[in-house]
Structure 1
Amino acid sequence: MKTIAGIVPIVAAVFDDRGRVDLEGFARLVRHLTGTGAKALTLFGLATEFYKLTDEEKERMMRVLLAETSASPDVAGIVSITHHSWEVAAVQAQQAEQAGADALMLLPPFFLAPSADAILTHARKVAQAVSIPVIVQYAPNQTGVRIEPELFVRLREDCPNARYVKVETQPPGKFASRLHELSGGGVETLVGYAGVQMIDVLQRGSVGIQPGCSFSEVYVALYGMFRRDELEEMNALFGRLLPYITYWMQSVELIVKAEKVILHKRGLIASSYCRQPDYRLDAAEERMIDAFLHEFGAYWGK
């Protein structure tokens, strides 16, 4: 079983300038990411613009990503299951497992404010449909649904493969600590939200960070410093990164667009197109991205 820990980027969807999925470009991006030091790649998170993709497009993208991660001895392939109905989500989970996914990420239902029991049932049904590890994504700011930590502990007790929670509360560290405490360490945590609270959550015992994918090399460097107990160096590098990611994380569409522009300017994708509706950067925000690329270019040889 491949490790689900360290830096676990959410892979961007790649479109051409007309908004069509660019599968060849997507495959090139995935191959690049497998060489960055990331321990796993996640597909169909919010940063993948999953909510703007057809089922057929998602199927083709999943096959491309899993072909690459299955060929890698070190990089796990994670597929996010986002359907609102467990009857459909469980089938999608089985299909992802059969296609070679090493783990799943599960976005619980949120439309029309389902009850806690409905959310628990959904997560149970999906986790029980597969044998691979499941990461439950908890993003209350994006979904509008609050979930108590006890629910995740109950899920872990009922479904041994529901080992992880991706915590995207604000702040995430306190929630992650509570999960660790209530579960006696049985629930492991990863943290998204661009890793804005990366240092705090790693010190609290979270096993990994799930940021976007446009500058994975910087996150990998930071995580390496943490693992080597080089906290002074880590704080210095993170202090340089923080003004950028805190600005971009003011909205999902803003950071999706910023990451696409970074990928494009790095030459990793041919177009920075985001499907509509999207965020339109102004001149100052474009200059911010150029400053970022200049400041951190040494991490990818520029």
Structure 2
Amino acid sequence: MNIQTSASPAAAPFRGGYGDASDLVRGISPVLEVPFTDSGDVDFEGFGRVVDYVLGTGVTSVMFPGFASEFYKLTEEERRELTGILLRRTAPREDFAAIVAVQDHTTRMAVARAREVVAAGADLINLLAPHFLNPSRRAQVEHVSAVLEAVAPTPVVLQYAPAETGTSLDAATIADLVRTHPNLRLIKVESSPPGRLIGELAALDPPVTSLEGYAGVQLPDAWRRGAVGSQPGCSFTEIYVEIWRRLTSGDEAGGEDLHRRLLPYISYWMLDTELIIAAEKQISFRRGLIDSPYCRRPAHVLDAEELRRIEVFLREFADLLPDLSRRN
């Protein structure tokens, strides 16, 4: 991989005096999008603006690359350069953690990638279990265990996304992994609905800490059941931050109300992963964050009604979504 950054190896004590980088994965932890030019090339400068924008929203961690980043449409070299851009910006931040994802299906490749990004300065690893051709649960556990051992003591977030991957894990299996591997610190739960598994994990002895994913569709319920944060996309981070602020500051009704206003939009967009990627990119484009809403093909092409609803969305939440072009 050879990602070029100025970050220190994760084997050193975590910067800023935090006991563990996972302490910073709280509240909203956006998944970064990757802007492309109209011709389909990666806009590396634009990605830097995306990182800078997210760093300025008050969150304390981000994840890259995820489904929202179109990771499966990036070359290895593009992925390396983008990861380096992120880590060069987060390395000086004592109050911020960069979560770098490992989605390789082959255990050998996953271990190699995980070690490389940790050496480059990733504060945490986000690990997606193998899913191509439906591997057995035992094979998934062996894969996850190998990566956890390879990067210890670097903390790891295990991503559980059964709708996207078809994999199946339960609370007991996850609990066994946590007991065996202390650096497995968080579970990103993207089952539908996520609340039941989040609650089961929180009730274990010791409790297993969870994040909610899936665009925050079930965010209030996940929070009530013990989730410590949510990992949505990044094009309207401010809305998620405000929902979380209200929920955690004693204004549960206010958080529920704002989430209720958001829900018709995200529940429709999350009917298909490529749909929400296209919608979020269009929102970022309309806000002036990125120069093109292009998604690499194959992709969802927004129709006239979907584009109209995005305009309605931007008007409805204009008080929370400033024009970002003025910052660039």
What TM-score results when the alignment is normalised by the length of structure 1? 0.97
The CA RMSD over aligned residues, in Å, is: 1.0
Q: Which amino acid aligns with 2:180?
A: D
SS of corresponding position for 1:71 = coil
The equivalent residue for 2:166 is 144
Instruction: Provide the identity percentage.
Output: 43
Cα shift at 1:37: 1.3
- In 2, the alpha carbon distance for the partners of 1:222 and 1:195 equals 10
Deviations 1:220-265 (A, max 9, x none): 0111111101012111111111111001000000000000000000
Q: Which amino acid aligns with 1:217?
A: E
Q: Which amino acid aligns with 1:84?
A: H
Cα shift at 1:71: 2.3
The yes-or-no answer on 1:285 pairing with 2:285 is no
- In 1, the alpha carbon distance for the partners of 2:172 and 2:40 equals 42
The equivalent residue for 2:60 is 39
**172, 178, 182: which is aligned to 1:156?**
178
The equivalent residue for 1:174 is 196
Q: Report if the CA contact (8 A) 2:282-2:293 is conserved.
A: yes
Deviations 1:166-221 (A, max 9, x none): 00001100011112223431x21001111010001101111110000000000001
- In 2, the alpha carbon distance for the partners of 1:79 and 1:285 equals 31
Q: What pairs up with 1:249-268 in 2 under 5 angstroms? A: 249-268=270-289
- In 1, the alpha carbon distance for the partners of 2:73 and 2:231 equals 20
The equivalent residue for 2:124 is 103
Q: Report if the CA contact (8 A) 1:253-1:278 is conserved.
A: yes
Q: What pairs up with 1:21-170 in 2 under 5 angstroms? A: 21-130=42-151, 131-170=153-192
The equivalent residue for 1:194 is 215
- In 2, the alpha carbon distance for the partners of 1:117 and 1:164 equals 20
Deviations 1:137-167 (A, max 9, x none): 1111111121122111111111100111100
Structure 2: 5+ residue stretches without partners: 1-17, 324-328
Q: Report if the CA contact (8 A) 2:287-2:322 is conserved.
A: no
- In 1, the alpha carbon distance for the partners of 2:321 and 2:89 equals 21
Q: Report if the CA contact (8 A) 2:127-2:156 is conserved.
A: yes
- In 1, the alpha carbon distance for the partners of 2:97 and 2:308 equals 35
- In 1, the alpha carbon distance for the partners of 2:170 and 2:230 equals 21
Runs of 4+ in 1 over 6 A off after TM superposition: none
- In 2, the alpha carbon distance for the partners of 1:13 and 1:243 equals 25
The yes-or-no answer on 1:209 pairing with 2:237 is no
Cα shift at 1:298: 1.1
- In 1, the alpha carbon distance for the partners of 2:209 and 2:105 equals 24
Structure 1: 5+ residue stretches without partners: none
Q: Report if the CA contact (8 A) 2:314-2:321 is conserved.
A: no
